[in-house]
Structure 1
């Protein structure tokens, strides 16, 4: 889930924690909300790796910090940090609520597109159930409603999140059921496919579809038992440039974070461009998350990976890479901008 959702879930759990007699008797709302909000965001402490190298962050994020051993450890560290401000009894209860917040964070990430390495150290496999979007407006709205009921003094005292969280659990189950049913339906029709991805959108009845065959990648949408293919992209033949691109740390780190990717080789006026496209993220015919290696003729290759907000942003980055290679070769020839279509 996104950071804003993790924060608001922390607030919701903090509100729910007051059903605990020890927490309510402590009469320290600031301490309680600090614990649950920190717990709800603690597994994302690996964001610090982004300061060192962005590509390393892509391969590390949602890895070890989301693993089984880290769940109680993160909650314990938060409880220990808060111990000087309260009693041991209250801190022990804060640990339990913080642990719940940490666990919900990891479970939520398992249900979305990115997934996590939640079963480490038993396996390093990325687990992504792909049933919940990164930002789910329904879950966010329920938390807003619950917080609203909690702070309005004219409403009788009751615990709204004791009702909201069971609703969210049912919502997760329904989402997961829809995902598995659609996937099963598509697999029965595309029996020769190499893989099929059913990816969530912000509404329950609409899903994004990716189908890989021996020759093509099919991208489309599925809603109300109807599949619409938006675009078909033919696979590129294996090239030595693909293998050379993988040798770059920027690209190898990027590919470690991709469950499914589509390689492409594009001829440029002064070299070759290799694209590694993460097929999970698509806006119409544009793919915003990819790794790129540019192989200028007679020069050292240049690599970049990350998010491209628009096709224009992507073209701008390509032109920058071509310009850098041109300067490195001390060439006085002007660089011509290339149009890129998807």
Structure 2
């Protein structure tokens, strides 16, 4: 989820903690736990700082080790230790428990986005992405704002957010059923489907689709329960090509391939260089596929420029590559 949603979820968990009578009757403990749930709800995303280095490092590591099983324990212990230093009189166990819940809940809700996480590390580096909830879901965020507003009007914080989370559990069930219906409709429309990736949008009844079939990739949209196919690409395995093999040594392309589950590739040969391009098929926007990896090599197969990330025009891509115009 986005940063704002994780923040309000931290407030919600700190509020639900007050249903424990020990916490409700100890203002210092309640305050410490609220700080813990706020910090815990943000901690796994500290890897966002990797953007300052480069896109490749960020793509390879974001929602990776910081969202792993060991990290959930380490984040909660670290945050608890820091807070307990300033609140030595409170119950360390309750402080740790709710901080742990906040960290674990952060990782849990991230599983439902199309981006996903490597939550099962160190057992596997597989990306787990259920593709049911948008990274920013206006319904989820709005319900949290309603809960915070209701608290300021004097409602009990614990019961307020417990009620909201029961409603949200029902909302997740609705989204799961929507997704299941879409997948069923795709199987009826396209023969020999092997894999379906659903990417929810801001609109409740609209989803982006990336579909892998036996011989083709399909890109489409589900709107109001109907499947609309927008693009179709022949499914071509990556060949054992010297140009592509040289391009794979680039950190930007390596990062892209470690993250993207469905893509198409192209190799273009020019008078003085080659260009290798990989395009993620999950994020079609207004006829354009913005998430890409591009590597340019000279005639001796030396890498001279590369880029991976989000680009919404060819002109901006050329500026990022900063060298060879086609």
TM value normalised by structure 1: 0.85
**Structure 1 stretch displaced more, 99-108 or 199-208:** 199-208
Could you say which residue in structure 2 is the equivalent of 1:207?
Answer: 207
Q: Could you tell me how far 1:216 is from its partner in structure 2? A: 3.8
User: 1:167-202: CA deviations, max 9, x gaps?
Assistant: 111211221222123213312432323432222122
Structure 2: how far apart are the matches of 1:92 and 1:213?
51
User: Shift of the alpha carbon at 1:292?
Assistant: 0.9
| Cα distance in 1 for residues equivalent to 2:156 and 2:255 | 53
Could you tell me whether the CA contact under 8 Å between 1:196 and 1:209 is conserved in 2? yes
Instruction: Write the deviation string for residues 19-77 of structure 1: whole angstroms up to 9, x where unpaired.
Output: 22222233136533321111011112323433344312211111122122222221121
- The structure-2 alpha-carbon separation of the partners of 1:157 and 1:205, relative to structure 1 and needing over 3 Å to count, comes to closer
Asked if the contact 2:209/2:219 (under 8 Å) is kept, the reply is yes
Partner of 1:20: 20
Does residue 262 of the first structure (1) align with residue 264 of the second (2)? yes
**Which ranges of structure 1 fall in alignment gaps of 5 or more residues?**
326-334
SS of alignment partner, residue 59 of structure 1:
helix
Q: Which residue of structure 2 aligns with residue 189 of structure 1? A: 189
Deviation >4 Å, runs of 4+: 155-158, 234-237, 267-270
Superposition deviation, residue 131 in structure 1: 0.7
Distance 1:262 1:293 in 2: 14
Tell me the SS of whatever aligns to 2:267.
strand
Match of 1:329 in 2: none
How is 1:282-297 mapped onto 2 (pairs within 5 angstroms)? 282-297=284-299
Matches within 5 A, 1:292-307: 292-297=294-299, 300-301=302-303, 302-307=305-310
Aligned residue pairs: how many? 322
Name the stretch that deviates more: 230-239 or 276-285.
Answer: 230-239
| TM-score between the two structures when normalised by the length of structure 2 | 0.89
Report the CA distance between 1:320 and its aligned residue. 5.1
CA RMSD of aligned residues (A): 2.4
Residue of structure 1 in register with 2:119 after alignment: 118
| Contact map agreement 1:32 1:94 (CA 8 A) in 2 | yes
1:75 corresponding residue in structure 2: 76
Q: Which runs of 5+ in 2 are unaligned?
A: none
Return the alpha-carbon distance in structure 2 between the equivalents of residues 156 and 249 of structure 1.
Answer: 52
Q: 1:131 to 1:83 in 2, by over 3 A?
A: same
Kindly state the Cα deviation for residue 234 of structure 1 after the two structures are TM-superposed: 4.5
- Aligned residue for 1:69, secondary structure, equals helix
